[in-house]
Amino acid sequence: MITDEDKERVRQATDFVQLVSETVELRQRGQEFWGCCPFHGEKTPSFKVNPATGLWHCFGCGEGGDVFSYVQRRENLEFPDAIRYLADRAGIELTEERGGRRGPKKTRLMEALGEAEAYYHLMLMRGRGEGPDAARRYLAGRGFGSDVCRRWGLGYAPGHGQLVAQLRAKGFSSAELVSADLAYERSGRVTDRFFDRVMFPIHDEMGRTIAFGGRILGTKRDGVAKYVNTRDTAAFNKGKHLFAYDRAKESMAATGEAIVCEGYTDVIAMHEAGFTNTVAALGTAFRLDHVRLMERQRVSRIVCMFDGDAAGQRAAERAVRYIDKTSAALLCVVLPDNQDPMEFLAARGAAALRPILDAARPLMDFVFEKRLAGHDLSSPGRRVRALADMASLLAPLKRSVLLDEYATRLADTLGMDVDETKRAIREAKVVEPDDERPARRERPERQPQAPRPSGHPAPAEPAEDEGYVPDDYVPVEAYGAAPAAPAAGPAPSMRALSADERMQVAAERELLCALAQRPDAMRAYEDRVATLSWSDERHEAMAWAMLSTPRGTSPADAVAAATAVVAEAPSILSGGRVLSSGELSDAEKLDLIVDNAELCSCRRRVRQIRVALSASGTPDDQSERLFQEATELQRRVGELSRKISSVTDD
């Protein structure tokens, strides 16, 4: 809790006129300073600041208040955060920050970090020897010449206690260096935290050094992390800061757009190419605090440029949980050929990137497509397993107003019942980003780092779930039996399949049984069978295997042909019911079977078109074709429904 005493200390330490002058051109009139209001558009100055009273007012929009309300409006902050913001600017450590902690002051840590940046930069620019030379070659190979290195304060950490000696000579204590995570203590000896790495300084929103990211030189060595970042300290919290936010915030506010990359070099390359609204998370997953930080600049678009590899996919999936927690549109771009932004810019230039950013897709569209692409949806059982996986992805949105929209979309894609899909999502466990891997204590890097022993045993295979659904499972509900109770355990049961999906499985089974029992009579329906959209690709393979037999093939040989392509064909072909009924002639029964299969197929295709049309990236000409196809299919559905009803109602 912020005390009244701290609040007054912050007020007294803030030069109100200087603060406002950062974004507003002020002119003095007597004791007051006047300018155009920063909170609404105007050409004639009607905004004033009175340093004597510490108040501001705009006669145009009628807003006014003190220095804290001004910061609330300008930075889009709550009142306590506005005090913290100004305290940070003034170098005031609030009582709430100290708590029961004893240790060096935050201001001293930041001074040490600033001196460390200067030293690392000096080593890069003027250092001699194999290490500095390798660092310069690495940066030059990424297009970062000396001008870029100077603009970004890039550096080289030699290690071997050289930084500790340098900062001790400047009056910093060992406790201050350890608290700033510039050094660590082992066996009574304090030595450098970073060793033989290219150093990327990290700044707060006011441009002060608060942390570092260090990249290993050369190829990754066993037991040595490619990147090492400053741990959380009194000056730095990796979950609340963004790399280059101090440089990007003004551009974010001006463009209404923020671009999020995955690496330091990508961000630098983006800025150097003119995309100055680019930032990156700092050795941690993209978090809600990062979204809130960008929202302070009133952005309407947050474009995530994730790499096309598995790590990029995981980053995109973690970001999904924030879709309903921000007014900004969360969008996603994956560059061609799995290039990262630095590679793309080097190969194609900035002009080629702008259209790609403008065409960014909604993040959820990208995640849906990529996650489902990893599943084989060719059979009902596999679609049930895909539902379990997608439910875990959507679990963070289980209490969101967006649940209905995403559950319906998923149900349509998988042929599932919407209510069962919602139930699966609500029952799925929410995994927080930090819980996705076991926490372990980070150990300081040895100088040089000794390789870890290899040969760790592989993790044991997980036990089979109670709710496991085999790939070849066909729901008993589809064959006319009463619906089964949901399966125990976390996996959704086959009951999650929609009524249409269960009906189509049953219709396809009847069609296959007819092909087995009347192979020659069914040849008259070949053209219609060829147009079907099957719910199970095994069913399609069996149908074509039986239709490919020569005329005069016996039922036993037809079954053998189906078994040759699908091993479980005998169990599937043994349960047909329609041909066993005595109410209709054989010709009427075959018509009914094919009509019913086509009806279910048309409905399935309509659902698929609805999913395609809901995707925002569908081109207009393709959307028009899909709409026309759906209209024709709906007409055919009506015809088949009336025809089937006339037969079954007689």
**pLDDT tens, residue by residue, 49-59:** 998 888 999 99
Is the pLDDT at 155 greater than 50? The verdict is yes
- Quick one: which of 471, 500, 497 has its CA closest to 484? 497
Is the pLDDT at 438 greater than 60? The verdict is no
Over residues 445-454, the pLDDT tens digits come to: 666 544 444 4
Over residues 371-421, the pLDDT tens digits come to: 888 888 888 888 888 888 888 888 888 888 888 888 888 888 888 888 888
**Which tokens is 228 given?**
């090492």
As a whole number of angstroms, the distance between CA 640 and CA 650 comes to 16
What integer pLDDT is reported at residue 97 of this predicted model?
A: 64
What integer pLDDT is reported at residue 574 of this predicted model?
A: 82
Least confident of 24-28, 120-124, 412-416, 557-561: 412-416
- pTM strictly above 0.85: no
Predicted confidence band of residue 487 (pLDDT cuts 50, 70, 90): very low
As a whole number of angstroms, the distance between CA 521 and CA 588 comes to 12
CATH number of 103-236: 3.90.980.10
What integer pLDDT is reported at residue 284 of this predicted model?
A: 64
Q: How far apart are the first and last CA of the chain?
A: 78
Predicted confidence band of residue 199 (pLDDT cuts 50, 70, 90): very high
Predicted confidence band of residue 529 (pLDDT cuts 50, 70, 90): very high
Over residues 590-636, the pLDDT tens digits come to: 999 999 999 999 998 988 888 888 766 667 778 888 889 989 999 99
Under CATH, which architecture does the 4-98 domain have? Answer: Alpha-Beta Complex (3.90)
As a whole number of angstroms, the distance between CA 339 and CA 343 comes to 6
Over residues 219-258, the pLDDT tens digits come to: 666 667 788 889 988 888 888 899 999 999 999 989 999 9
pLDDT-above-70 percentage for the chain: 86
Is the pLDDT at 645 greater than 50? The verdict is yes
As a whole number of angstroms, the distance between CA 275 and CA 271 comes to 5
As a whole number of angstroms, the distance between CA 49 and CA 19 comes to 11
Task: Find all residues with CB under 8 Å of 347, minimum gap 6, and list them.
Answer: 339
What integer pLDDT is reported at residue 157 of this predicted model?
A: 94
Residue 496: beta bridge partners? none
Predicted confidence band of residue 366 (pLDDT cuts 50, 70, 90): confident
Higher pLDDT pick, 496 / 222: 496
As a whole number of angstroms, the distance between CA 238 and CA 227 comes to 14
Mean pLDDT calculated for residue range 141-149: 92
Domain ranges of the chain: 4-98, 103-236, 498-648
pLDDT-above-90 percentage for the chain: 39
CA angle 554, 559, 560 (to 5 degrees): 95
Q: Look over the chain and give the mean of its residue pLDDT values, rounded to a whole number.
A: 83
What integer pLDDT is reported at residue 461 of this predicted model?
A: 36
As a whole number of angstroms, the distance between CA 358 and CA 337 comes to 19
Residue 240 CB coordination number (10 Å): 15
Is the pLDDT at 473 greater than 70? The verdict is no
Over residues 571-598, the pLDDT tens digits come to: 888 878 888 777 788 899 999 999 999 9
Over residues 58-115, the pLDDT tens digits come to: 998 888 999 999 988 888 788 888 898 888 888 787 776 655 455 678 888 999 999 9
What integer pLDDT is reported at residue 336 of this predicted model?
A: 83
Over residues 161-186, the pLDDT tens digits come to: 999 999 999 999 999 999 999 998 88
What integer pLDDT is reported at residue 423 of this predicted model?
A: 87
Least confident of 140-149, 430-439, 514-523: 430-439
Higher pLDDT pick, 6 / 267: 267
What integer pLDDT is reported at residue 81 of this predicted model?
A: 85
Task: Find all residues with CB under 8 Å of 206, minimum gap 6, and list them.
Answer: 88, 89, 246
